[in-house]
Amino acid sequence: MSQKTSATSDMTRLSLAISTCPNDTFIFDALVNGQIPSRGLEFETRFADIGDLNRLASDGIPDVVKVSYAHLPALLDTYVALTAGGALGFGCGPLLVAKDKSDFERISSPDIAVPGLNTTANFLLNRYFPTIEKKTVLLFSGIVDAVSAGNFDAGLIIHESRFTFRDKGLQEVADLGNLWHQETGLPIPLGCIVARRNLPQKLLLSINTLIAESVAYAFAHPDASEAFVGRHAMELSPDVIRQHIHLYVNDFSLDLKPLGKKAVRTLLKEKLSPESHIFVDDPV
């Protein structure tokens, strides 16, 4: 844990790990770039792909880190989920794509490129396509090109790839988020922010509040983060960046509220007991 307090400063320093995706940089810009009062907290920020973020959390390295909701049960001894800063909503789930949907449906044992085995995307793939066994983990941003090149029978895409896959001649096989919504009527929980469970409760609540304030600032000043988001957006066009933020950042990013928490517990019900202390504001 990198929490430090010096004799000459009352700032509490925490390590933060998030992705380079526009939703994360949009949400955290105000927090990490000093556009809102810091509440006595200072963050040392690193960026990584969601698969690497899940691994960092498994190793217990960052104080605060973005992870896949599907990976949360494996982390609860070390981390607690915050109710602000995450990605959860309707119409924003992962897509299964292929060069030709009809050809794909005739393949008995397809080889699928996935963005990580511990991701919510792969969790949903297992749920709705349980017979698929052949999977290869790729960086999420390389899956569309790999499928387009014929290296895989299909790809499981997340983030901004849902806006660009048709440009590479691919077709949608299934929208796993829509399948989830049809089954449950709930928003799909994708990723959340977790913080070290052994931090003082007052500090955990302050982190959660600060992230919510960062989200609120981003909503109120949507152009303020443009340079920061663009610098990390891997050459995405401004139009794709806007679509990405609009899709993945919403009221649930401010606070999960009861509906969001219900969606998370429904997603994870086979891995957790109803009494599991998941969220920072759960009664202990």
Residue 154: which H helix or E strand, with range?
A: strand 154-157
Residue 202's contacts (CB-CB under 8 Å, 6 or more residues apart) are none
Which residue in 71, 159, 232, 244 is the catalytic one?
Answer: 159
Strand duo 12-18 + 41-47: pairing: parallel
Strand duo 79-81 + 134-137: pairing: unpaired
Q: Can you tell me which residue has the tokens 């995405």? A: 236
Using alpha carbons only, give the angle 27, 33, 39 rounded to the nearest 5 degrees: 85
Check the CA dihedral 192-92-264-138 and report its sign: negative
Decide if 159 is catalytic: yes
Q: Which residues are catalytic?
A: 159
